[in-house]
Amino acid sequence: MNNTLNEHFDRKVRPCIDLIDSLRSLGVEQDLALPAIAVIGDQSSGKSSVLEALSGVALPRGNGLHCDKMSLELKMKKKKDRGKWCGKITYKDLDGEEEIKDQADVETKIREAQNYLAGDGLDISEDLITLEIASPNVPDLTLIDLPGIARVAVEGQRQDIGETIKRLISKYITKQETIILVVVPCNVDIATTEALKMAQEVDPKGERTLGILTKPDLVDKGTEETVVNIARNGFTHLKKGFMIVRCRGQQEIIDNMSLLQAKEREEDFFRTHQFFHTLFEDDLATVPKLAEKLTLELVHHIENSLPRLQKMIEEKLAQTHVELERYGTGPSTDPEERNVFLIEKVVAFIHDVQSLTTGDEMKSGDKLNVCSPLRTEFEKWETDLDSSGKKFNEKIQREKEIYENMYRGKELPGFIDYKTFEAIVKDQIKQLEEPAINTLRNAGDSIKKVFLQLAQCSFAGFPNLLRIAKSHIELLGQNMETIAEAMLRTQFKMEMVVFTQDKTYRKILKPEYDRHIENKWFRNIMDHNTFIRELLLHITTYYQIASQRLADQIPIVIRYQMLQELASELQKHMLQILQEKDQIESLLKEDQTLARKELICKVVTNVSQRLE
């Protein structure tokens, strides 16, 4: 690099790259899209070769299929001092990261990772392998080598493999923060390259796409002018333009040509080439020039993205502040005060648990309310009762012959046997048992949900405390539900005793009788089937009484056991945790993500100030 570039690098590039690195190391990638360079190209277009030439380490390449199953992220860091080369590899499931001591091992390590993640299958994997290398001889760049775009599936691959790869590539290149490197070999018709098409779809104006022409040594004789034209942006116009590079061919790899030799050979090639020497003279050729260009482009890109990045971070920051506020000023470091802080937190929670059951005002999470979800459940239960009664009656009317055969004994028409009535009524009530248990489950879930939300609000920022409260709620909730279920089951056993006060029965029987008489269908049936008429009259009468009883009884059990008792047990259990003095520190352990977010804010503000 010449001096002006060096200066520019130190003043502008370093802080940008440091910024992105700090953000990455803080794990911001999940929250914010960070600038990156993605390398895309059709299969065997030379992607890996370019990456290899840029990084100076041999990467798995060759038969195309096997190496291109997953993406490789190549993080390169330029060491200022003349330090030793060092590398490490990370991927999902690998515990931490594995150090690579020798450059020569990189290829094997990557292959191991690929085999581990994808096995012998030929399918494309979404996993990402990250290779980090630091050396004085690499540019400060992070590149992602994406699987090559395959046009046809080979044996053993799914037919839609092409689509899968494209989807994976799209995921990276649609992000506005990504610079797209499109690798196109000189010896194919550029108009037909799928990679360029994909880039144009997501970046129609060519603002963040850079073309790389490879394999200039394989160019078809006579088409050199065309290639020069493309390289000079004459074919498709890309704002970032094209670069042309020459990497090692298969034979040269077999012949063990080193990357250093390849670099010298590349320069010779362009310098002396009858057509391409002009590109060389205009700094459009060779890998080192490409590295320079990429670094500058990345810095440019980061600079341009900074306002947006900052805006996103500010939004996150605002969200974080809301969270921070919720968790208050945080505990002090003094042990005595910490104890008081914990007591206050727990007591406030207990207070709010009480308020939930009574509907009083709360200290935190003030919009929470159990009454309304419960009311919804209980209304539904009442509707269930009505519709079950109706359905049962309709069934009797529809299947009157069956009923008559089944239940009528020796009596003449018009008589009804009390046992028959009892049997049918029991049958009808039995059918309410499962819906009642369902009501319990749903109501119980709603109550637990509200309690969990309350815990979430009350203990925001203290993951251990929150976890304990949540596990109490879950566990006690389950216990209470078991008890309540037993109570409900007993209620239904009791309902098998068909009973009500005479007065109550008479009170309902009379209007039921009048109603039945008005019913046209009923009058009609009276002529033929007095048994069913009488039966229905009594059944509907009793069902009304029993269902009124159950309409109240089930909700009362639920309210008592799932709300009152759960609340009071929860309060006891939460008070108990205050007894465990040695637990205070662990309970007050603060949420790392909050601290992390604060740190991110600091880093970004700091760096963006330096850039201004």
Q: Does 45 bind ligand GDP (CB under 6 A)?
A: yes
Q: Does 114 bind ligand GDP (CB under 6 A)?
A: no
Give SS3 for 352.
helix
Question: By CB under 6 A, which span of 46-54, 132-140, 541-549, 558-566 interacts with ligand GDP?
Answer: 46-54
Question: By CB under 6 A, which span of 39-47, 319-327, 425-433, 454-462 interacts with ligand GDP?
Answer: 39-47
Q: Does 357 bind Mg ion (CB under 5 A)?
A: no
Contact string (CB under 5 A) for Mg ion, positions 57-76, x = contact: ----------x---------
Question: By CB under 6 A, which span of 201-209, 231-239, 240-248, 375-383 interacts with ligand GDP?
Answer: 240-248
CA-atom Rg of the chain in angstroms = 38
How far apart, in whole angstroms, are the C-alpha atoms of residue 371 and residue 388? 25
Q: Does 273 bind ligand GDP (CB under 6 A)?
A: no
Residue 122 Cβ vs ligand GDP, minimum distance, rounded to whole Å? 15
Residue closer to ligand GDP by CB (options 71, 130) is 71
User: What is the CB neighbour count within 10 angstroms for residue 439?
Assistant: 21
537 binds, among ligand GDP, Mg ion, none (CB under 5 to 8 A by kind): none
217 binds, among Mg ion, ligand GDP, none (CB under 5 to 8 A by kind): ligand GDP
Residue closer to ligand GDP by CB (options 45, 55) is 45
| Beta bridge mates, 88 | 99, 132
Question: By CB under 6 A, which span of 47-55, 308-316, 412-420, 534-542 interacts with ligand GDP?
Answer: 47-55
Q: Please, are residues 530 and 313 in contact by the beta-carbon 8 Å criterion?
A: no
Residue 82 Cβ vs ligand GDP, minimum distance, rounded to whole Å? 30
Q: Which helix (H) or strand (E) holds 73?
A: strand 71-78
Give SS3 for 74.
strand
Contact string (CB under 6 A) for ligand GDP, positions 60-79, x = contact: -xx-x---x-----------
Q: Please, are residues 462 and 591 in contact by the beta-carbon 8 Å criterion?
A: yes
Among 186, 169, 187, residue whose Cα is nearest residue 178:
169
How far apart, in whole angstroms, are the C-alpha atoms of residue 595 and residue 341? 19
How far apart, in whole angstroms, are the C-alpha atoms of residue 469 and residue 451? 9
103 binds, among ligand GDP, Mg ion, none (CB under 5 to 8 A by kind): none
Contact string (CB under 6 A) for ligand GDP, positions 450-489, x = contact: ----------------------------------------
Residue closer to ligand GDP by CB (options 255, 427) is 255
Q: What DSSP string describes 92-153?
A: TTSSS-EEE--GGGHHHHHHHHHHHHHTT--S----EEEEEEEETTS-SEEEEEPPPB-SSP
| Beta bridge mates, 149 | 42
Q: Please, are residues 481 and 566 in contact by the beta-carbon 8 Å criterion?
A: no
How far apart, in whole angstroms, are the C-alpha atoms of residue 476 and residue 412? 58
Question: By CB under 6 A, which span of 246-254, 292-300, 377-385, 417-425 interacts with ligand GDP?
Answer: 246-254
Q: Please, are residues 103 and 43 in contact by the beta-carbon 8 Å criterion?
A: no
Q: Does 246 bind ligand GDP (CB under 6 A)?
A: yes
Residue closer to Mg ion by CB (options 39, 138) is 39
Q: What DSSP string describes 361-408?
A: --SS-TT--SHHHHHHHHHHHHHHHHHHHHHHHHHHHHTHHHHHHHH-
Q: What DSSP string describes 488-512?
A: HHHHHHHHTS----HHHHHHHHHHH
Residue 217 Cβ vs ligand GDP, minimum distance, rounded to whole Å? 5
Residue closer to ligand GDP by CB (options 50, 313) is 50
Residue closer to ligand GDP by CB (options 209, 214) is 214
Contact string (CB under 6 A) for ligand GDP, positions 191-220, x = contact: -----------------------xx-xx--
Q: Does 253 bind ligand GDP (CB under 6 A)?
A: yes
- The residue behind tokens 């009379």 is 510
Residues near Mg ion (CB under 5 A) are 47-48, 67
Residues near ligand GDP (CB under 6 A) are 41, 43-49, 61-62, 64, 68, 148, 214-215, 217-218, 246-250, 253
